[in-house]
Amino acid sequence: MLWKYLVRRLLAAIPVVIGVSLVTFTLMHAAGGGYVPGITDDPRLSSAAVQALRHEYGLDQPWPVQYAVWVGNVLRGDFGRSMIDGTPVTTHLLDRLPNTLELTLTAIVLAVLFSVPVGVLSALRRGTRLDHALTTLSVAGVAVPGFWLGLMLILLVAVVPAQHLGAPLLPSSGATAAFGGGDVLDRLSHLVLPATVLAFGYIAVWSRFTRNGMLEVLSQDYVRTARAKGMAERRVVYIHALRNAVIPLVTLIGLELPGLFSGGVIVEVVFGWPGVGRFAFERALAFDYTTVMGLTTFASILVVTGNLIADLLYAVFDPRIRYR
Measured distance CA(53)–CA(240) in Å, rounded: 65
Rounded mean pLDDT, 100-104:
87
Measured distance CA(208)–CA(190) in Å, rounded: 29
The amino acid that residue 91 corresponds to is: T
pLDDT in tens, 58-90: 777 888 888 888 888 888 888 888 878 878 888
What lies within 8 Å, CB to CB, of 51 at 6+ separation is: 60
> What are the structural domain ranges in the chain?
93-276
Coil, strand or helix: which one is 209? helix
pLDDT in tens, 271-296: 988 888 888 888 888 888 888 888 88
Given 1.10.260.40, 1.20.1250.20, 1.10.3720.10, 3.40.710.10, which CATH number is that of 93-276? 1.10.3720.10
Rounded mean pLDDT, 156-179:
82
Length of the chain: 324
Confidence of residue 249 (pLDDT cuts 50, 70, 90): confident
Report how far apart, in Å, the C-alpha atoms of 201 and of each of 9, 231, 312 are: 30, 36, 25
CA 294 to chain centre: 16
Radius of gyration of the chain (CA): 24
pLDDT in tens, 294-318: 888 887 877 777 777 767 766 666 6
Query: What pTM, to 2 d.p., does this model score?
Result: 0.79
* Contact assessment for residue 263 and residue 273, using Cβ atoms and an 8 Å cutoff: yes
pLDDT in tens, 185-239: 888 888 999 999 999 988 988 898 888 888 888 888 888 888 888 888 888 887 7
* Contact assessment for residue 312 and residue 9, using Cβ atoms and an 8 Å cutoff: no
